[in-house]
Structure 1
Amino acid sequence: MTDTMRAGMMNEWQGRAAAPDRGIGQAARTSSRRLNLADNRFDASPIPSGFEQLTRSLRKLILRGCSLSSRSYYSIRQLQFLSELDLSDKHLSSVLPNFIGNFSYLTLLHIQGCNLSGSLPSFLANLSKLDYLDLSFNELKKTDGRLDVIQNASSIQLEKIVLDHNKFQGMVPSFIFKLMKLEIISLSFNNFSGVVELGLFQNFKNLSVLNLSNKNQSIEDGGENRTTIFLCLLSELDVLDLSSNMIEGPLLIPPPSTSFFSISNNKLSGEIPMSICNTTSLRVLDLSRNQLRGQIPQCLGEISDALVVLNLQGNELNGTLLQTFKEEYNLQTLILVKIN
């Protein structure tokens, strides 16, 4: 997931943090369905009085960056009707409290940067209404058994799963390919290994973000024609990051809907095909650190008036390009290091 996407998502939740005591009471009287208590310390003092008034009405609770005590957890566990919970950017002593598994109405769970380690919590299988799970920037690393516990919840409706910046090992978990409603799959910066075939993602008709950047795993494209067909099926794809995956062969061409495409630091060879210029929605195009050769297609200079970043560094390309960019274009970063 990009920083812009995360920021946009959190802006949706922006609200004025309630002040102790009086603020909680006011929230209960006015807008008791959403409560933002981010960046407070509830380890030295309890959550303010009046919180219990929200037990049945509160739907969204934001506790980003908060320090919580056992007494605070007791107050939170009473909120049985929560639909959105954000516990990000806090120390959780490596494990999540099990009572979260009792929030049967939960649709969104954000637990970024909380020092979680070990396996995914087994209670995730109980959250059948969950559609957005973000556990990025933790220390999670086990995938055997416990990670696949999600596949046992046949009714789960996950649409967005973000597991970036953890230490997951082994193959990409098989349960992901059974969640046909997924719109966001973001698994970058882990220790996944083995081979992933891109064709496995062809059934995700609503997929908008696919982030598989990973230094240890290998991605097979299944042959040029097959890959082209499957990418064309992903008509909603907006972000495609396949960087650092030991991909070999000719350059893959993303769907026309793609605005961010990175396939840097792979083993791509051959020329850049002219068909890359059909991706007219691109804002970021990163083909750096491959083994691409030949002429730079002149049409790259006219690919999109929205293009912001073009990175061709670390290839064996030749030719000229700068004169093809129109003055009114928004290009901010052009990297052509070592162009012959």
Structure 2
Amino acid sequence: MSSLETLNMSHNMLSSVDSIPLQFADTIDLRSNLLQGSLPIPAISTRFFFISHNNLSEEIPSSICNLTSLIMLDLATNNLGGEIPKCFGNITSLQVLDMHHNNLSGNIPTTFSNGSSLSSLNFHGNKLEGNIPQSLTNCKELQVLDLGNNNLNDTFPMWLGALPNLLVLSLRSNKLHGPIRTSRIENMFPELRIMDLSYNAFSGNLPSSLFQHMKAMRTIDPSMEAPTYGGFTYYQDSITVATKGSDREIVRILYLYTVIDLSSNKFRGQIPSIVGDLIAVRILNLSHNGFQGHIPPSFGDLSSVESLDLSGNQLSGEIPQQLASLTSLSFLNLSHNHLQGCIPQGPQFHTFESNSYEGNDGLRGFPVSKSCSDARVLDTNDTVSELDDEKSNSEFQRDFWKGALMGYGSGLCIGLSIIYFMISTGKPIWLARIIVELEHKIMMGMRKKQRRQRNYRRRNNHF
């Protein structure tokens, strides 16, 4: 066999490549098999090598750097260990280097040189340590940089903002720390569409300058397409993002999603209102920080946002009424803040359940309680009821004293008559007894009548 342009044996149950002619192919695709052991090395002329989703182990041999014509190398989702060969940075033809979901350790190579063609670099889900190498600024063609789920220990690499074509930046779940400082870069992150800094230890105020030049997030461009590397369609970029409360792997991300995820850090201060200018954002997650102040009313301009998570902060004030105009919003989480007042009402807000607002004792309205208008009617009814009670009590007191005076007056007249009669006759004791008994019967009858009248009025007031 003298030459073979493409060898595609992917999605089979191969456990070995000993009998496969790897030395004669320009493109080798062995993805999704049962290959074990060390990484096989193809011929020096191989340009596209795909061997992801196998069970390869051991270290990556440095001899792979002899493939100086290599354009794409996909080693993702294996059990490869050890350090990443530093010589990868010297392969200037390399456009895609994907090693995500392995057991690689040590530092990221620092040897990325001028003239690099690297467009996609994915080291997500390894055990890499140390700093983010500043030599990545030499990769002017870089579009996707995913260093998430490692043990990197560094501050925010603001210098990455100078990369003119960077579309995706994922640094989630590392040990990155400190404030995000302002930069003098005039055109910072102009093409960025996905920024994921979640699950780190970034702190301090969030500078408005970080979002000032994000032109791609300020414009809705339905014509944007995922890149094809030299017209090659085998490889598609993917990234894991948190959307609508759960993690999701997104394939062909570059034109489907626009994401800002700064969740689970130590940011504080107010949320910059300039974030509301990023109208192309579909997922905005600022949860589990220390943000204070009000929710910016400018968030009502985020016409494309589908998932908005501001939970677990110290936000106060009312929910801006402008949010009710977000017709694309399908997930909202404002729980565990200090928000108060009436929840805005609108087509989308009617779909959110009470757990979107839990932990905000000052919020009223659907779905956490009766609507704010019903609450005002209830307050009015309570006031009317109190006035009726007061009126009833007043009438009762007036009737009581009227009856008492009547009884007192009647008793006084009868008593004077008895005294007069006794004085004039001398010894009419029998008559005095009769009159006293008569007086007692009259008083008891008047009291029963007054009691019946009061009960009658109370029943009428109740109904």
The root-mean-square deviation of aligned C-alpha atoms, in Å, is 3.7
Distance 1:99 1:245, change over 3 A: closer
Q: 2:337 aligns with which of 308, 315, 333?
A: 315
- Residue 333 of structure 1 deviates from its aligned partner by 9.7
Match of 1:242 among 262, 284, 303: 262
CA pair 220-200 structure 1, distance change in 2 beyond 3 A: farther
Rg larger in structure: 2
Tell me the amino acid that sits aligned with residue 296 of structure 1. I
Match of 2:48 in 1: 59
**Aligned equivalents of 1:162, 1:294: Cα separation in 2:** 37
Contact kept? 1:58, 1:82, Cα under 8 Å: yes
Residue correspondence of structure 1 range 7-22 to structure 2 within 5 A? 16-17=10-11
Distance 1:108 1:160 in 2: 9
On the 8 A contact 1:108/1:130 being kept in 2, the answer is yes
> What's the CA shift string for 1:114-134, capped at 9, x where partnerless?
222221124444881111111
Is 1:209 the equivalent of 2:194?
yes
Find the aligned partners of 1:42 and 1:192 in 2 and give their Cα distance. Answer: 34
CA contact (8 A) 1:41 1:68 kept: no
Q: Once the 2 structures are TM-superposed, how far is the Cα of residue 24 of structure 1 from its aligned partner?
A: 5.5
CA contact (8 A) 1:117 1:138 kept: yes
Aligned to 2:284: 261
Which residue number in structure 2 is paired with residue 96 of structure 1? 84
2:358 maps to which residue? 337
Cα deviation, residue 103, structure 1: 3.7
Structure 1 window deviating more from structure 2 (162-171 vs 313-322): it is 313-322
What is residue 32 of structure 2 aligned with on the other side?
38
- Distance of 2:71 and 2:320 partners within structure 1: 50
CA distance in 2, matches of 1:315, 1:173: 30
Give how far 1:16 is off: 4.1
TM-score, normalised to structure 1's length? 0.75
Match in the other structure for 1:4: none
Q: Is the 8 A contact 1:287 1:311 kept in 2?
A: yes
1:112 maps onto 2:88 in alignment: no
Q: Residues 126, 220 of structure 1: CA spacing in aligned structure 2 closer, same or farther, 3 A cutoff?
A: same
Matches within 5 A, 1:129-168: 129-143=117-131, 147-151=133-137, 154=138, 156-168=140-152
Unaligned runs of 5+ in 1: 1-13
TM-score normalised per structure 2:
0.57
Cα gap change, 1:283/1:90 in structure 2, threshold over 3 Å: closer, same or farther? same
Mapped contact 1:118–1:140 kept (Cα < 8 A): yes
Name the CA distance, whole Å, in 2 between partners of 1:311 and 1:138: 31
In the alignment, is residue 193 of structure 1 matched against residue 190 of structure 2? Answer: no
Aligned-partner Cα distance in 2 for 1:308–1:248: 27
Contact 1:92–1:116 (CA under 8 A) maintained in structure 2: yes
| Pair 1:132–1:300, CA change in 2 (3 A) | same
Instruction: Say if 1:268 and 1:240 are closer, same or farther in 2 by CA, change over 3 A.
Output: same
Task: Please identify, of 120-129 and 16-25, the stretch whose mean Cα deviation from structure 2 is larger.
Answer: 16-25
List alignment gaps of at least 5 residues for structure 2. Answer: 1-7, 218-257, 363-463
CA 230–41 in structure 1, closer or farther in 2 if over 3 Å, else same: closer
Aligned-pair CA distance for 1:236:
1.4
- In 1, the alpha carbon distance for the partners of 2:262 and 2:98 equals 24
Separation of aligned partners in 1, 2:164 and 2:321 = 39
- Say yes or no: does 1:221 pair with 2:221: no
Instruction: State which of 260, 285, 302 in structure 2 corresponds to 1:279.
Output: 302
Larger helix percent = 2
